[in-house]
Amino acid sequence: MFKIAIFASGRGSNFAAIVNQIKSGQIKAQISLLISDKEDAPVLNRPEAEGIESLFIDPASFNNQTAYENYLIKLLQKAEIDLIVLAGYMRILSPVFVSQFKNKIINIHPALLPAFKGLHAQQQAVDYGVKYSGCTVHFVDQGMDTGPIILQAVVEVKADDSAADLAARILVEEHRIYPAAVKFLTENRIKITGRKVKIIKEEENLG
């Protein structure tokens, strides 16, 4: 069985969207671990987390980031994790950690990368005055929001949008394309060539 670890720091709505797709049979996988760096993260108390090993691992209890990440690496290796899904995980992973799981870590960003990287992407889009924004599922590499792009969804930015208005509409698309990207990966339908990601059609994969 394809094994997934979810890293989350907040509400966990993308986590819930993926769990629902697994429960419905759309994604053939299991979430083996739910890991948060925040003790009070709502994701740890979501109903969807029932039956999933859910762990609060406090980075402050380690001497440094290296020790914290070494602990995570051993935990993930022991659980034989196939894919790490960052779902609102608000810590930057080091190049050492990323290299341990090359092309096995994905993230979703609330903008059409490479535009509006980093924090407050929705506010950045509103302030810049773009007509369209959206969200991007991408592999995590050693930069910030720079990994190869798997899927994107476009959302119109309305003239009177606040950042919260835009964020709410983007979130709807996140809940659609993030589970889709996970599904493609569990079905081995993703091919990476340099920065380009090809999604293989089901009939090609069978052939």
User: Low-confidence residues of the chain, pLDDT below 70?
Assistant: 203-207
Q: Does 109 participate in catalysis according to the annotation?
A: yes
**Backbone torsions φ then ψ of 99, nearest 5 degrees:** -65, -25
Average pLDDT, the chain: 96
pLDDT tens profile 19-77:
999 999 999 999 999 999 999 999 999 999 999 999 999 999 999 999 999 999 999 99
Q: Is 92 annotated as a binding residue?
A: yes
Angle between helices 163-186 and 13-23 (to 10 degrees): 40
Residues 6+ apart with CB under 8 A from 132: 112, 154, 155, 156, 157
Separation between Cα atoms, residue 79 and residue 171, nearest integer Å = 30
Q: Which of 109, 120, 138, 175 is catalytic?
A: 109
133 known ligand binder: no
63 is in an annotated binding site: no
**For the chain, which domains are there?**
1-101 (3.40.50.170), 107-207 (3.40.50.170)
pTM for the full model? 0.96
Residue-level pLDDT at 202: 78
Residues belonging to the chain: 207
Q: Does the annotation place 13 within a ligand binding site?
A: yes
Per-residue pLDDT at 7: 98
What pLDDT is stored for residue 206 in this prediction?
47
Burial class from Cβ neighbours inside 10 Å (0-12, 13-18, 19+) for residue 191 reads exposed
